[in-house]
Amino acid sequence: MSITESLNALGVTLPDAPAPAANYVPFVKTGNIVYISGQISNGPDGLIVGKLGENMDVDAGAAAARTCAISLLAQVKAACDGDIERLVRVVKLTGFVNSTADFTDQPKVINGASDFLVEALGDAGRHARSAVSAASLPLGVAVEIEGIFEIK
């Protein structure tokens, strides 16, 4: 099954790649590797804000992380001149979770992105990963994730 078919089966349509919010580029290609800048949690109703361990639970955080993964794929599609089928694999994700000092379930939150990528891409979605806490994130969002992808 193609990536597009898999996304369609999941009911996911990739949005237009989000524009950068400051002085940086959304992605950098070098050889067959694409480095995607951090994508913040953003859903159909706008930014997904909150602090894990304070006013947001793990399930809501995981759902926010899933939106980051969708934005990452949208950026990969843009980096591939609109052809998401050029994606070979997810190499690594680094996830940042807006959380309280005593919150320790960052990996469960970032699983929202990891699980989605494996569901959408199969083995090509399996990746190395870091999941870390942040005292705050831009615009008060719950999650930000950056990624490294291999393309052809």
What pLDDT score was predicted for residue 86?
A: 98
Angle subtended at Cα 59 by Cα 48 and Cα 62, rounded to the nearest 5 degrees: 60
What pLDDT score was predicted for residue 20?
A: 87
What pLDDT score was predicted for residue 144?
A: 98
DSSP 26: S
What pLDDT score was predicted for residue 132?
A: 98
What pLDDT score was predicted for residue 113?
A: 98
Taking the CA atoms of residue 55, residue 58, residue 60 and residue 65 in that order, the dihedral angle to the nearest 10 degrees is 120
What pLDDT score was predicted for residue 56?
A: 98
pLDDT in tens, the chain (152 residues): 999 999 999 999 999 998 888 899 999 999 999 999 999 999 999 999 999 999 999 999 999 999 999 999 999 999 999 999 999 999 999 999 999 999 999 999 999 999 999 999 999 999 999 999 999 999 999 999 999 999 99
Full-model pTM: 0.97
What pLDDT score was predicted for residue 69?
A: 98
Q: If we measure between CA atoms, which residue out of 99, 100, 102, 92 comes closest to residue 129?
A: 92
Give bridge partners of residue 94 from the DSSP assignment: 130, 146
Distance CA 36, CA 79 (A): 9
